[in-house]
């Protein structure tokens, strides 16, 4: 069995899993004693894990009242897309300035399996999509940027492991982004990433409006 030097880390991962697969529901209060017992740990390392999740916007703490799973309303989901637009746009710019061959290879590798396929496995594509967007950030080597980019967690929570738009739209977009990076065109790379994220955002906004008027 693997031993940990810091129990809060596996607890943190377990909690994220519980959030993703619905063992913990939106808005639910986290009764520390209960969860701690479930996981077979004490409240001390659990609290550490919860504080980490709080800083990733997944958990909200109300002093003396408890820790709650965040309920993300549409405004906040849209706000998160705005943040992603800024950060991933900048990331693409940085990568285009560098034109690092290994980076470009890794980005391409995400989507080459889906080229010229008549049928695309949606789960696999969703995973590739997530991988691509997080790679965009990681490959910059900008540690603070990576540090503030926790949105994949939230994306997972909000949209499940589904997609906002379908591959027939986005697959081409992804390759155009990579081309701009490979071509060393930072302005274009940033612009394309922004448009890419913005389109999904607009779609979500429209879905919201329709929901409201129904």
Q: Are 20 and 156 in contact (CB under 8 A)?
A: yes
Per DSSP, the three-state class of 30 is strand
- Taking CB under 7 A as the criterion, the residue among 6, 121, 187, 202 binding DNA is 6
Told to check if 29 binds DNA by CB under 7 A, we report yes
Which residues have a Cβ under 8 Å from the Cβ of 205 and sit 6 or more positions away? 78
> Contact residues for a second copy (CB under 8 A)?
5-6, 44, 47-48, 51-52, 55, 57, 63-64, 76, 79-80, 82-83, 85-87, 89-90, 94, 142-145, 147-151
Which of the stretches 33-41, 92-100, 140-148, 183-191 binds DNA when contact is defined by CB under 7 A?
33-41
Q: How far is the CB of 53 from DNA (least distance, A)?
A: 14
Task: Choose from a second copy, DNA, none: what does 42 bind? Cβ within 5-8 Å by kind.
Answer: DNA
- Taking CB under 7 A as the criterion, the residue among 15, 19, 24, 30 binding DNA is 30
Which residues have a Cβ under 8 Å from the Cβ of 41 and sit 6 or more positions away? 7, 11
Q: Indicate the residue among 114 and 150 with the shorter CB distance to a second copy.
A: 150
- Taking CB under 7 A as the criterion, the residue among 56, 61, 106, 150 binding DNA is 61
- The rounded Cα 13 to chain-centroid distance in angstroms is 15
Q: Are 10 and 4 in contact (CB under 8 A)?
A: yes
Phi, psi values for residue 66, rounded to 5°? 135, 180
Rounded to the nearest 5 percent, the helix, strand and coil shares of the chain are 70, 5, 25
Q: How far is the CB of 7 from DNA (least distance, A)?
A: 3
Query: Which residue in the block uniquely carries the two structure tokens 């997972």?
Result: 156
Q: Which stretches of the chain bind DNA, using CB under 7 A?
A: 3-8, 29-34, 41-45, 47-48, 61, 63-67
């Amino acid at each position: 069995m693997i031993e940990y030097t810091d129990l809060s880390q596996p607890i943190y991962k377990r909690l994220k899993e519980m959030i993703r697969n619905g063992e913990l529901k939106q808005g639910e209060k986290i009764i520390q004693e209960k969860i701690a017992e479930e996981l077979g740990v004490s409240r001390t390392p659990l609290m550490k894990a919860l504080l980490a999740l709080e800083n990733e916007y997944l958990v909200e703490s109300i002093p003396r009242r408890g820790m709650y799973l965040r309920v993300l309303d549409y405004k906040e989901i849209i706000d998160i897309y705005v943040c992603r637009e800024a950060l991933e746009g900048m990331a693409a710019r940085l990568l285009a300035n560098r034109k690092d061959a290994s980076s470009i290879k890794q980005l391409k590798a995400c989507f080459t399996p889906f080229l010229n396929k008549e049928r695309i496995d949606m789960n696999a594509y969703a995973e590739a999509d997530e991988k691509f967007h997080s790679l965009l950030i990681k490959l910059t080597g900008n540690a603070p940027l990576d540090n503030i980019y926790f949105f994949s967690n939230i994306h997972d929570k909000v949209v499940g492991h589904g997609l906002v738009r379908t591959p027939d739209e986005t697959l081409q977009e992804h390759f155009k982004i990579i081309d701009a990076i490979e071509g060393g065109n930072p302005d274009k790379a940033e612009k394309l990433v922004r448009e890419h994220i913005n389109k999904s955002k607009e779609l979500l906004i429209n879905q919201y409006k329709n929901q409201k008027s129904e």
